[in-house]
Amino acid sequence: MKSDSEITQLDPALLPTHVAIIMDGNGRWAKKRLQNRVKGHEKGADTVRMVVRISRETGIRFLTLYAFSTENWQRPKTEVSALMTLLNRFLRSELSEMRQNNIRFAVIGETGRLPDSVRIEIDRTIHQTRDNDGMQLTLALSYGGRTEILNAARALADSVLSGKIDVAGIDEQSFSEHLYTSAMPDPELLIRTSGEFRVSNFLLWQIAYSEIYVTNTLWPDFTKEEFIEILKDFQGRERRFGRVGTE
């Protein structure tokens, strides 16, 4: 298979441990075809399946996908409800694949705002994949980076008021431990589809040093070949973290 040979061209030692993706362009994909936006999301869900499979095959350990932002609640009710239905369908259809492929499932965001039917499916998927350690697939659902940071600030302020920690004890590590992503490394690579140069309130704290790759491809058109090309591009970048280069 073509993708297999392309995957072997990747250097496992230089793979990003954590890849985060802003999946954008479903609506435009549908509009171009004079179809309902929901058709774009449906096709986008197929791309999600492909990206999960390729990530697992390449050996990426953490994949985090921005599936629904806190701002997305403002979309028309019919679109929100179609996205929730798609999500339920995705979780039901992918559970056996996740179990077979040793993938642990996780969610970040204000899950309390999601409909009960989605919460039940999420809990089931988390529970049934909890011992898997091949890769972690995290969906950001009802997620907003600023809210996440505010919640961490509030929790730390509470700990100071109750005398559990000193103000001086608040550092990057303790702050990170109060984020939804406390058990994950920061993403080394952030991919955004559909050509927009925006971060859109995604993982604001965690992407401080991430390499960013923006592609014009609309999410439903994103292919495994392009995904692997982006991973190769990442392997060619020199990551300096604010220091000088190595030569």
Active site residues: 24, 72
Footprint on residues 166-185 left by ligand FPP (CB under 6 A): none
Sign of CA dihedral 51, 7, 223, 21: positive
Q: Is 145 in the site for ligand FPP (CB under 6 A)?
A: no
Q: Is 26 in the site for ligand FPP (CB under 6 A)?
A: yes
Q: Is 23 in the site for ligand FPP (CB under 6 A)?
A: yes
Among 14, 86, 160, 199, which residue interacts with ligand FPP (rule: CB under 6 A)? 86
How many residues belong to the site for ligand FPP (CB under 6 A)?
20
Q: What are phi and psi of 155, to 5 degrees?
A: -65, -40
Beta carbon nearer to ligand FPP, 85 or 176: 85
Q: State in angstroms the smallest separation of the CB of 151 from ligand FPP.
A: 22
Beta carbon nearer to ligand FPP, 10 or 226: 226
Q: Is 85 in the site for ligand FPP (CB under 6 A)?
A: no
Q: Is 27 in the site for ligand FPP (CB under 6 A)?
A: yes
- What's the CA gap between 30 and 41, in Å, rounded? 8
Footprint on residues 187-226 left by ligand FPP (CB under 6 A): 194, 219
Q: State in angstroms the smallest separation of the CB of 154 from ligand FPP.
A: 27
Instruction: Extract the tokens encoding 82.
Output: 């179609």
- What's the CA gap between 167 and 45, in Å, rounded? 44
Count the Cβ atoms, other than its own, within 10 Å of residue 137.
24
Strands (E), the chain: 18-22, 62-69, 103-108, 135-143, 189-192, 211-214
CA dihedral 109, 110, 111, 115 (to 10 degrees): -130
Among 3, 7, 28, 147, which residue interacts with ligand FPP (rule: CB under 6 A)? 28
Among 139, 152, 156, 228, which residue interacts with ligand FPP (rule: CB under 6 A)? 139
Q: Is 109 in the site for ligand FPP (CB under 6 A)?
A: no
Q: Is 39 in the site for ligand FPP (CB under 6 A)?
A: no
106 contacts: CB under 8 Å, gap ≥ 6:
126, 136, 137, 138, 139
Count the Cβ atoms, other than its own, within 10 Å of residue 21.
27
The full length of the chain comes to 247
Q: Tell me the Cα Rg of the chain.
A: 19
Binding site for ligand FPP (CB under 6 A): 23-28, 37, 41, 44-45, 48, 67-68, 72, 86-87, 90, 139, 194, 219
